[in-house]
Amino acid sequence: MAGSTLGTIFKITTWGESHGKALGVVIDGCPAGLPLDEGQIQAFLNRRKPGQTAIATPRKEDDSVKILSGIFEGKTTGAPISMMVENNSQRSHDYSQIASCYRPGHADFTFDEKYGFRDYRGGGRSSGRETIGRVAAGAVASLILKQMGIQLTTFTRSIGPISISEERFDPECIRSTPTAMPDPIASKEAEAYLKESMAAFDSVGGVIECRVTGLPTGLGDPVFEKLDANLAKAFVSVGAVKAFEIGEGCHASRLRGSENNDGFTIEEGKITKVTNHSGGTLGGISDGSPLLLRAYIKPTPSIFSPQQTVNSKKEEVTINIKGRHDPIIVPRAVVVIEAMAALTLMDALLLNMTAKLDSVVNFYKN
Amino acid sequence: MAGSTLGTIFKITTWGESHGKALGVVIDGCPAGLPLDEGQIQAFLNRRKPGQTAIATPRKEDDSVKILSGIFEGKTTGAPISMMVENNSQRSHDYSQIASCYRPGHADFTFDEKYGFRDYRGGGRSSGRETIGRVAAGAVASLILKQMGIQLTTFTRSIGPISISEERFDPECIRSTPTAMPDPIASKEAEAYLKESMAAFDSVGGVIECRVTGLPTGLGDPVFEKLDANLAKAFVSVGAVKAFEIGEGCHASRLRGSENNDGFTIEEGKITKVTNHSGGTLGGISDGSPLLLRAYIKPTPSIFSPQQTVNSKKEEVTINIKGRHDPIIVPRAVVVIEAMAALTLMDALLLNMTAKLDSVVNFYKN
Amino acid sequence: MAGSTLGTIFKITTWGESHGKALGVVIDGCPAGLPLDEGQIQAFLNRRKPGQTAIATPRKEDDSVKILSGIFEGKTTGAPISMMVENNSQRSHDYSQIASCYRPGHADFTFDEKYGFRDYRGGGRSSGRETIGRVAAGAVASLILKQMGIQLTTFTRSIGPISISEERFDPECIRSTPTAMPDPIASKEAEAYLKESMAAFDSVGGVIECRVTGLPTGLGDPVFEKLDANLAKAFVSVGAVKAFEIGEGCHASRLRGSENNDGFTIEEGKITKVTNHSGGTLGGISDGSPLLLRAYIKPTPSIFSPQQTVNSKKEEVTINIKGRHDPIIVPRAVVVIEAMAALTLMDALLLNMTAKLDSVVNFYKN
Amino acid sequence: MAGSTLGTIFKITTWGESHGKALGVVIDGCPAGLPLDEGQIQAFLNRRKPGQTAIATPRKEDDSVKILSGIFEGKTTGAPISMMVENNSQRSHDYSQIASCYRPGHADFTFDEKYGFRDYRGGGRSSGRETIGRVAAGAVASLILKQMGIQLTTFTRSIGPISISEERFDPECIRSTPTAMPDPIASKEAEAYLKESMAAFDSVGGVIECRVTGLPTGLGDPVFEKLDANLAKAFVSVGAVKAFEIGEGCHASRLRGSENNDGFTIEEGKITKVTNHSGGTLGGISDGSPLLLRAYIKPTPSIFSPQQTVNSKKEEVTINIKGRHDPIIVPRAVVVIEAMAALTLMDALLLNMTAKLDSVVNFYKN
């Protein structure tokens, strides 16, 4: 198993390497009848494009998506949706150094150990370019979620030590700041911090937050297929994510029960929680409150200072990474995290339809 | 899907409710030839038994395991291993209050929303007793891992604000302190903190850490089936876990690349990392370093103070939970987290055997 | 993988060996709200009980089912339904001969090759008793199908060379003839044939047919998850089944297109097929016509004449099988085939609910 | 779920419609290190190409395959192998008739029922062109099987009433006769039969047989994942297959135990069966004998005579199918059936590696 398939009903399979002919994704199990065109997918892909700001790699990646199957007369047919991005803009490089050396913080060593050799060009299969397939599929899921009144808001919560302020939170800024922060003042501070780090030939980590509103109750299954468990897997499956939190997250471990419990109340005739420490699930099932999710991202491992490492001949060497690498992964990864949330929620929405026998019987009566 | 099955090759299915006739697990896909008896499973189950210390519920749960299938002449046969614990010691209770009320922090409300009604006795399917099946299955996985030289050390890292000290770390203490802390001084402090909290009719959260040594390189698959992604799912699928970390975890988001990268070196002829900020994986594949994993656990939601809530008729009510609940989940959950790690690693070990064509061809040559 | 789990949403896991402590099944993913008690399951299990007629083994098997979880206040809760039959009536035997010998037509040799050894008592995991779990789970599926107006009629179509006559077809007879034939005259002939075969210490094969009416259109998915493909797998997974047919089956290979095609017409305002050569599916999706399915069953491999074989020391030996074996598997396997059909249809019914986006959107609107 | 993914370890996902931009397949889980190029895949695809003989459609399909990922320096890397065939040669058609009418024997009606509408151009997703992905993936599986000494021989066993003679069996003829029959005399007769049928504007069915030699013992798992059960699913998932047989197949139902059982003997120090009525499996696990498998194929549903049908407005109409359809599916489907066998065996080979604990322990020792 190479592990490139995710989901039970809404199932995606990504393929492609950084410097291969193309990268893509197949969505199997998308319900029939969704209006879909390439422009809608492209809008999501453009959010992960590099070369757009001073704090991202100046590398150009065109990343123009083609839909190859699964659409007829402008709508999904229920058949697999195959989408592809051709690798037109990969520069030809001198890979002699990384071909034999193991870059610290990268998967070079583990790929060689697992498979016996690796496609070393630009990180091969473990490149961030693999997320193109995730984002394209996530776009389709997001369009369905949107049609159902489910809204995902994903943004950079912090960069290094600089965090956004809840008071200044402005979702409109997410797409306008280069940091994807919803707080222009924090964003400016973060940009300054980043520039300082770039001047030191170093890189920086950060935190991405995803908030989901409008979600129905009942999503997720008890025991192993808890909604938060699948969100944890989906987020941590993104290359550089080192921690996952829901609701109070780590902080819950320091609270008392009386502080962390969310009382229930009635609001407009509906049962609702007074607070949302839980972050939108109880017992692994969505409770109707907003989902509050966070992914903690490590600093880009490719830095421009000399690093100690070894090569595949087991010789100690010093590596000097060259190329055009992002000094921070976070802003470009925002849409990747959003895609992973959308995919997980989409699958949970479809799986939840069979929970009650009444629903099943009624479905076939009509 | 009720979500009670986990794993691809080493696949487990748990069943049972808190106050039903029995709880159990079926392991399908355990390799044939492992010596196994009930005593070995019982030893693991005893680690999650309540009623053993002053800081756990005085409730007695006998939890005596029977193996019903899959063993012949003292060894696993490759057939499913069915294990069962009968519910002998459940007191008969007055459930009239929780039958209609939604306890804050519990899954009562979401179960009703999802399934239309619920088994309210002792939490039903979402009770902590569900983990009996996980621990019994985890025991089997652990026995195999042990045979392969893989060692799991799992312990309480902190309780509320009190953390262990790395300097005083003594693995021998994990089983002897009531807190499962490997540091007797921190354990004493934590006990005092817990007693104070119990006196206030309140509960406390904490952190569990799991360290794995002796793991071969190559476990985990790129993209969605990363080893850390599956560990995240496994951990967050345990009821009260609100966050997952590997290696530097959340802290990585505040580090620079030069601080977080682990250089490689040669030690005794083997490639190894100089540091282990990554926590044992690179690109989602085990790198031969120890796995460093943490689960953040919320305070027990059942507290003995009045709480605001609603009932299923949408009336606001005050609930006073009675019964014998743990003031903290953490010490008893240590073996549950260890079980989840063992199960995830076991499946990854089996899945990794097909990564190289050479290995496959050689396997069938011999 | 030991292969004991079947299904995507309505998922079953069987466990147990012929002479172990018990056998059972866990159903995960049964919708909540189905009224269910042990008597309903027992009625299905009784149909596969031996010792009931002159043409079945005189062996007594009590096979009394217990439901251990998943039911509350008489209804399924959505949690796993664990069911168990204890092995009370297994005689203690002298197994020294079959412990080392490979019985022709049995799985003894292949189990040893695959797992290195085997539980040889009564066939171990490959015993027909394994189907107890299938039938218990199939009973639950059948109860849901019945509630939806879907009717399964399963019967013995032929025994050795003797087939039923369509003209004399009387479904009432299926449960009253010892052969499970819906034709009392053919049944008498078959009994005579069987007695003759038993007198010759030999065994006999036959054909089971399953007809399903009331099935909605749309079940099954294109490509690999065709409804007939999954029915084929389900049927051939039953021990002695050597062939599977749908509709014209083998015979279709000798027909011309003009003979085999089913024209469409309008009947009571509904599109329907004029004929049903296809057997109820088109392109792997149910077409609203009755499903017509057949399983071809080999003669019982345990015969009471000496047979040439080898032992595990690679010595040629003659084996004389003793015990109380059925001279024919077919009548007792009728309910097993019906169970496999019911399980496959149940899963397909649940999976089909997400085919159209409209259905999904409407589901969550209400 | 649209059902386009097959396999547990060696997992394939096909996509594409008859007249879309392209069709393809992603293989996930192919072991690393297999030398692979497009020419090897093309050789398999050429075996299903139309337009090559007088008894196939004169339609030209170029079907030129591109490998888009998963290969580096001429070998598989363990990453997904994405393969694509562009649809260059689809004629532009007048689809007004089949857009609204339901062709007898086709999936038009069931697709509309399931998904609400369909891509009607050339059969859309249920076209035979979907098998391009299966054959391309099957080619990869076959190359690995070949390297392991496993040989698949697949051929036309009969066309309408004309069957090959075992005495004249010549495997060399399979690729040289237009019928794919390994018997030139039967092939000539079949050609005459086909021409007669074509002259009557009618179509013909037939039988494909697949024989596999060199297979190790131990493949397949007891219970639901029996090797023959998965082969049955794989074969019946091919569009026009109406029956599946292994070994004696249907005929076994008429045999006595003494006739159908295969005795064991010792040959060259190895345990082997004296006969092979079972067709290569016992208890669902490969027994070291050749696999003997048969698929029964219905006549092509597209015939050139007027047929009674209805349209989507529920009006009865007469349809006259035009176009360039094969008068028989069988010869072109031979390579499809072989691909399905190869894929199923490949997955079973990989899954079997974890059956014994010794093998697992030894694997990680080396």
The whole-angstrom separation of Cα B13 and Cα B36 is 19
What tens digit of pLDDT does each residue of A190-243 get? Answer: 999 999 999 999 999 999 999 999 999 999 999 999 999 999 999 999 999 999
Q: Report the alpha-carbon distance of residue C38 to residue B84 in Å, rounded.
A: 19
Confidence check: pLDDT of D55 > 80: no
Beta pairing partners, A311 = A101
> Cβ contacts of residue C92 below 8 Å, gap of 6+?
none
What confidence category does residue A246 fall into, taking pLDDT thresholds of 50, 70 and 90? very high
Dump pLDDT digits (tens) for D142-154.
999 999 999 999 9
Q: Which of A317-326, C36-45, C79-88 has the lowest mean pLDDT?
A: A317-326
Is residue B142's pLDDT more than 90?
A: yes
Question: Which of D27, D66, D77 is best to mutate for the A interface (most A CBs within 10 A)?
Answer: D77
Task: Please count the CA atoms within 13 angstroms of the CA of B194 that sit on its side-chain side.
Answer: 25
List the domains of chain C with CATH numbers. Answer: 5-365 (3.60.150.10)
Contact residues, A window 102-161, toward D, CB-based 8 Å cutoff: 114-119, 121, 124-125
**Residues in chain D closer than 8 A to B350 (CB atoms):** 354, 360
> Coil, helix or strand for C258?
helix
Instruction: Provide the pLDDT for residue A90.
Output: 59
Angle at A80 between CA A344 and CA D131, to 5 degrees: 140
For residues C215 and C228, what is the distance between their CA atoms, to the nearest angstrom? 14
Residues B189-243: tens digit of each pLDDT? 999 999 999 999 999 999 999 999 999 999 999 999 999 999 999 999 999 999 9
Does any CB of chain A come closer than 8 Å to the CB of residue D32? yes
pLDDT at residue D92 above 70? no
C329 to each of C157, C192, C336, how far by Cα in Å?
13, 16, 11
Average pLDDT, chain C: 94
Instruction: Say whether residue A207 is in contact with chain B using an 8 A CB cutoff.
Output: yes
Contacts of D125 (CB under 8 A, 6+ apart): A77, A78, A79, C222, C223, D16, D17, D18, D111, D119
Query: Pick from D33, D359, D361: which is nearest to B147 by CB?
Result: D361
Mutation for D interface: B142, B360, B365, B366, most D CBs within 10 A: B360
Tell me the CA distances in angstroms from C64 to B3, C46, C84, C342, D37, one per residue in order.
Answer: 28, 9, 8, 21, 59
Q: What is the pLDDT of residue C48?
A: 87
**Of B54, B300, A73, B69, whose CA–CA distance to C19 is shortest?**
B69
pLDDT for res A97: 76
Residue-wise pLDDT for A77-128, tens only, equals 999 999 999 998 655 566 777 788 999 999 999 999 999 999 999 889 999 9
**What's the pLDDT at D323?**
75
CB A52 within 8 A of CB A61: no
Q: Mean pLDDT, to the nearest integer, of B150-155?
A: 98
Dump pLDDT digits (tens) for A248-302: 999 999 999 999 999 999 999 999 999 999 999 999 999 999 999 999 999 999 9
**Cβ <8 Å between A15 and D28:** yes
| A361, containing H or E segment | helix A357-365
Q: Say whether pLDDT at A366 is over 80.
A: no
User: Nearest 10 degrees: CA dihedral of A49, A50, A51, A56?
Assistant: 140
With 0-12 / 13-18 / 19 or more C-beta atoms within 10 angstroms meaning exposed / middle / buried, residue A172 is: exposed
Residues of chain A found within 8 Å of residue D122, distances taken between Cβ atoms: none
Length of chain C: 366
Please provide residue B199's backbone torsions phi and psi, each rounded to the nearest 5 degrees. Answer: -65, -30
What is the phi-psi region of residue A335: left when phi exceeds 0, alpha when psi lies from -120 to 50, beta otherwise? alpha
pLDDT at residue B61 tops 80:
no
Q: Is C332 exposed, middle or buried (0-12, 13-18, 19+ CB in 10 A)?
A: buried
Token digits of residue A366? 């009509």
Per-residue pLDDT tens digits for B14-41: 999 999 999 999 999 999 999 999 999 9
Helices (H), chain C: 38-48, 96-100, 108-115, 131-147, 184-199, 227-236, 257-260, 330-351, 357-365
How far CA B94 is from CA of B120, B312, C208, D294, in Å, comes to 11, 18, 52, 63
Give residue A288's pLDDT.
97
Give the closest of B29, B31, B356 to D31, CB-based.
B356
Residue C89, pLDDT above cutoff 80: no
Interface test with B, best of D143, D354, D358, D359 (most B CBs within 10 A): D354
Within chain B, strands assigned E span 5-6, 11-16, 22-28, 65-67, 71-72, 75-76, 81-86, 151-159, 162-163, 206-213, 241-246, 264-267, 270-273, 281-282, 285-286, 291-297, 307-310, 316-319
The residue length of chain B stands at 366
Q: Cβ distance A226 to B235 under 8 Å?
A: no
The whole-model pTM stands at 0.97
Q: How confident is the model at residue D93 (pLDDT cuts 50, 70, 90)?
A: low
State the smallest CA–CA distance between residue D178 and chain B in angstroms.
36
**pLDDT score of A53:** 74
pLDDT in tens, D154-210: 999 999 999 999 999 999 999 999 999 999 999 999 999 999 999 999 999 999 999
- For chain B, give the mean pLDDT: 94
Query: What is the interface size between A and B, counted as CB pairs within 8 Å?
Result: 384
Those residues with Cβ within 8 angstroms of residue C140's Cβ, 6 or more apart along the chain or in another chain: C27, C30, C34, C36, C41, C76, C81
- On the question of pLDDT at C261 being above 90, the answer is yes
Question: What's the pLDDT at D262?
Answer: 98
Of B144, B361, B363, the CB nearest to D357: B144
Task: Please report residues of A whose CB lies closer than 8 A to that of B116.
Answer: 356, 358
| Distance of alpha carbon D234 from alpha carbon B34, whole angstroms | 33
Residue with tokens 């035979």: D128
Residue B20 to residues B4, C65, C81, D89, Cα–Cα distance (Å): 16, 16, 11, 64
Mean pLDDT of C116-131: 93
* Chain D partners within 8 Å of B148 (Cβ): 360-361, 364
pLDDT, residue B91, reads 59
| Range with the poorest average pLDDT among A167-171, B269-273, B324-328, C241-245 | B324-328
- The predicted pLDDT at position B53 comes to 74
Q: What is the DSSP string of D174-212?
A: GGTSTT--S-HHHHHHHHHHHHHHHHTT--B-EEEEEEE
Listed in sequence order, the residues at least 6 apart from D233 whose beta carbon sits closer than 8 Å to its beta carbon are C224, C229, C230, C232, C233, C236
Q: CA-CA distance, D200 to C154, in Å (whole number)?
A: 39
Q: Report the percentage of chain D scoring pLDDT > 90.
A: 87
Tell me the sheet residues that pair with C14: C25
Band of the pLDDT at C1, cuts 50, 70, 90? low
Residues in chain B closer than 8 A to D31 (CB atoms): 354-357, 359-360
**How far is it, in rounded angstroms, from Cα D107 to Cα D120?**
10
- At residue D54, the pLDDT reads 72
Dihedral over alpha carbons D200, D201, D202, D203 (to 10 degrees): 120
Question: C169: number of CA atoms within 13 Å, CB side?
Answer: 12
Q: Which residues lie below 8 Å from residue B329, measured CB to CB, with a gap of 6+?
A: B128, B205, B206, B239, B240, B297, B298, B299, B300
Q: What are the contacts of A192-201 at 24+ separation with CB within 8 A?
A: A193/A159, A193/A160, A193/A161, A193/A162, A194/A55, A194/A159, A194/A160, A194/A327, A194/A328, A195/A54, A195/A55, A197/A160, A197/A327, A197/B256, A198/A55, A198/A327, A200/B256, A201/A303, A201/A304, A201/A305
Contact indicator for A11, D12 with CB cutoff of 8 Å: no
> How far is C253 from D329, CA to CA, in rounded Å?
11
Q: State the Cα–Cα distance between residues A190 and C245, nearest whole angstrom.
A: 67
Mean pLDDT of chain A: 94
Q: For A124, phi and psi rounded to 5 degrees?
A: 60, -130
Backbone phi, psi, residue D231, to 5° = -65, -40
> Any residues with CB less than 8 A from the CB of A366 and at least 6 apart, and which?
none
User: What is the mean pLDDT of the segment spanning D120-141?
Assistant: 95
Residues of C within 8 A of D222 (CB-CB) are 2-4, 107, 111, 125-126, 130
Q: What is the pLDDT of residue D39?
A: 97
* Tens-place pLDDT, residues A50-64: 666 777 776 666 799
- Residue B326: its pLDDT value, please? 83
State pLDDT tens for residues C199-253.
999 999 999 999 999 999 999 999 999 999 999 999 999 999 999 999 999 999 9
pLDDT, residue B366, reads: 64
Please report, for chain B, how many H helices and E strands are present, in that order: 9, 18
- Tell whether the model's pLDDT for residue B1 goes beyond 80: no
pLDDT category at B2 given cuts 50, 70, 90 is confident
Distance from C-alpha of C306 to C-alpha of C292, rounded to nearest angstrom = 39
Compute the distance between CA of residue B205 and CA of residue B162 in angstroms, rounded to an integer. 11
Given a contact cutoff of 8 angstroms between Cβ atoms, the answer to whether D49 and D129 are in contact is no
> In chain C, what percentage of residues exceed pLDDT 90?
87
Sign of CA dihedral B16, B17, B22, B24: positive
Q: Yes or no: say if A217 and B110 are a contact pair by the CB < 8 Å rule.
A: yes
Instruction: Look at B2 and C30 and tell me if their CB atoms are within 8 Å.
Output: yes
Residues contacting A177, CB < 8 A, separation 6+: A184, A187
How many Å apart are CA A29 and CA A80, to the nearest integer? 7
List the 8-27 stretch of C: residues with Cβ below 8 A of A: 8-9
**For A316-341, what is the HEC assignment?**
EEEECCCCCCCCECHHHHHHHHHHHH
Which residue has tokens 């039967």?
D186
| Cα–Cα distance, B90 to B96 (Å, whole number) | 17
The one-letter code for the residue type at B109 is F
The residue with greater pLDDT, A271 or B61, is A271
- Placement of tokens 């630009």 in the chain: A122
